[in-house]
């Protein structure tokens, strides 16, 4: 006796479901190829020159004279494996120290609008950040006292000594400066970076 049409479609569904689950199992069991982060690429040319791909990260760092873990206690006596590696490590460390010594600190730029904003708040309220936060005429974006303190500290850190003195010692009876651009030491520029 044969199967009814309803039984045949139920049997097809069961077979189809089992085949789909087998496909998923096969797909999930394919081993994923993972790249080693250390082998993927050494960005610094000095380190890349002395890097040995057969060694681990810690072994390479120890051979160069660097510490792999900044929190680890510093060994009292570094132990290079031989004289050649010791000379190589000294050379690499000397080159890296030279790069650090030649580094020019980045100069920060504060937009003229932020300088004007900070100047107006300091002239009106001094160092009362609570009052600055409540002043909705100048502080239109309703910055919190903590945000205002950070913004003013950022402006002060980017200004030169004369501008800092002028900003921190407001004069009685004077309003905001006529032009913020004239008060800032940076020339005005377009968005593309070209001067106006």
pLDDT in tens, 109-159: 888 899 899 999 999 999 999 999 999 999 999 999 999 999 999 888 888
Q: Which domain holds residue 151?
A: 112-172
Q: Rounded to whole angstroms, how far apart are CA atoms 145 and 103?
A: 35
Last residue of a domain, one of 102, 125, 141: 102
How many domains, in total, are found in the chain? 2
Would you place residue 178 in the very low, low, confident or very high pLDDT band (cuts 50, 70, 90)? very low
Backbone φ, ψ for residue 112 (5° rounding): -60, -35
By the 10 Å C-beta count (0-12 exposed, 13-18 middle, 19+ buried), 6 is classed as exposed
Model pLDDT for residues 88-103, shown as the tens digit of each residue? 777 888 888 888 888 8
Q: Which token pair is 188?
A: 């005005």
Residue 63 lies inside a defined structural domain of this protein: yes
Q: Which token pair is 13?
A: 């569904």
Instruction: Give pairs for 86-91: CB < 8 Å, separation 24+.
Output: 88/50, 88/63, 88/64, 89/63, 89/64, 89/65, 90/65
| 95 and 42 in a common domain | yes
| 128 and 92 in a common domain | no
Q: Rounded to whole angstroms, how far apart are CA atoms 164 and 150?
A: 15
| 159 and 128 in a common domain | yes
Residue 22 lies inside a defined structural domain of this protein: no
Residue 18 lies inside a defined structural domain of this protein: no
Residue 130 lies inside a defined structural domain of this protein: yes
pTM score of the predicted model: 0.41
Q: Which of the pair, 63 or 33, is modelled with greater confidence?
A: 63
What CA–CA distances, in Å, run from 53 to 4, 6, 49, 82, 167?
Answer: 67, 64, 11, 19, 56
| 93 and 51 in a common domain | yes
| 117 and 87 in a common domain | no
Q: Rounded to whole angstroms, how far apart are CA atoms 149 and 155?
A: 10
| 96 and 120 in a common domain | no
């Amino acid at each position: 006796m044969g199967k009814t049409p309803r039984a045949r479609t139920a049997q097809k569904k069961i077979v189809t479901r089992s085949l789909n689950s087998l496909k998923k199992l096969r797909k999930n069991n394919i081993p994923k190829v993972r790249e080693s982060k250390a082998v993927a690429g050494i960005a610094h040319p000095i380190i890349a020159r002395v890097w040995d791909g057969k060694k681990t990260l810690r072994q390479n760092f120890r051979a160069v004279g660097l510490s792999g873990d900044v929190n680890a206690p510093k060994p009292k006596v570094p132990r290079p494996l031989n004289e050649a590696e010791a000379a190589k490590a000294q050379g690499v460390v000397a080159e890296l120290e030279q790069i650090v010594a030649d580094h020019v600190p980045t100069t920060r730029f504060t937009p003229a609008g932020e300088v004007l904003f900070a100047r107006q708040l300091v002239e009106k309220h001094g160092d009362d950040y609570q009052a600055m936060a409540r002043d909705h005429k100048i502080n239109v974006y309703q910055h919190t006292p903590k945000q205002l303190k950070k913004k003013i500290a950022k402006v002060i850190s980017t200004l030169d000594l004369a501008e800092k003195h002028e900003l921190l010692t407001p004069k009685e009876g004077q309003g905001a400066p006529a032009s913020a651009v004239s008060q800032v030491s940076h020339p005005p520029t377009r968005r593309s970076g070209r001067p106006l």
